[in-house]
Amino acid sequence: MKLIIGNKAYSSWSLRGWLACRQSGLPFEEVVVPLYDDAWDRRREGDEFAPSSGKVPILWDGDAVVWDSLAIVDYLADKVGREPFWPADEAARAMARSMAAEMHSSFAALRRKHTMNVRQVYPPVAPDDDVRADLTRIFELWAQARARFGSGGDFLFGAFGAADIMFAPVCTRIATYSLPTPRFAAAYVLAVLQHPFMQDWIAGAQEEEWVIEKFEQPVT
């Protein structure tokens, strides 16, 4: 398999696809493509990017191509079994799938106003009301998952899985922008950031030479 991703410092969707590949345990080639550099428009017109219209991540597995992070999770679960990704308990699995889907489609204010940058930590600034509303909903989801199904470990459903993969970029945003976080959520954020896969990703981001100035601005 070959996974094409954007800059590790900034690309939240790439992080999800990459974590899914690591979680699968399958070997894969990692290809990092700098976002928005001088060759970006030309590069994204190439055959490898055509199915996704230039978006990353893109997973190639022979002739099969998958270009959406949640679809990558499902594709890999089909290959290796759902156990690495989804809880065995039916009720827990239903909730985990719903949470992953809501993360996939929601929280636009948090995404837009607090872009991912795993190389920075900015002083706290009070979030806008729409961002605060997104965080409130996220913390509600986390609290419900942890209370109902999280007793077996440090993650949303005990063991690290697809729901944690989908919320991992939220954890980086909370850390980067010093966003207000209740104590239980802060412990979960720390557990995600300290996961070995996340530590590998962050180390890779620190080694990157590329800087995108529009993603290097603190919230004012």
Crossing angle of helices 162-176 and 12-24, in 10° steps, is 140
- Look at residue 61 in the predicted model and tell me its pLDDT: 97
Domain 90-201 fold: Glutathione S-transferase Yfyf (Class Pi); Chain A, domain 2 (1.20.1050)
Domain 2-82 fold: Glutaredoxin (3.40.30)
d(CA 197, CA 20): 10
Using CA atoms, how far residue 88 sits from 80, 144, 157, 161, in Å, is: 14, 18, 10, 11
- Look at residue 215 in the predicted model and tell me its pLDDT: 87
Task: Classify strands 64-66 and 29-32 as parallel, antiparallel or unpaired.
Answer: unpaired
User: pLDDT by residue (tens digit) across 181-209?
Assistant: 999 999 999 999 999 999 999 999 999 99
- Give pTM, 2 decimals: 0.95
The residues of the chain scoring below 70 in pLDDT are 37, 40, 44, 220
d(CA 36, CA 56): 12
d(CA 198, CA 1): 20
- Look at residue 20 in the predicted model and tell me its pLDDT: 98
* 55-73 burial code (b ≥16 CB/10 A, e <16): ebbbbbeeeebbbbbbebb
Tokens describing residue 95? 């909730």
- Look at residue 29 in the predicted model and tell me its pLDDT: 98
d(CA 163, CA 169): 11
Q: How many CA atoms lie within 13 A of 174 on its CB side?
A: 24
Tokens describing residue 124? 């706290």
- Look at residue 220 in the predicted model and tell me its pLDDT: 66
The residue extents of the domains of the chain are: 2-82, 90-201
Where are the extended beta strands (E) located within the chain?
Answer: 2-5, 29-32, 58-61, 64-66
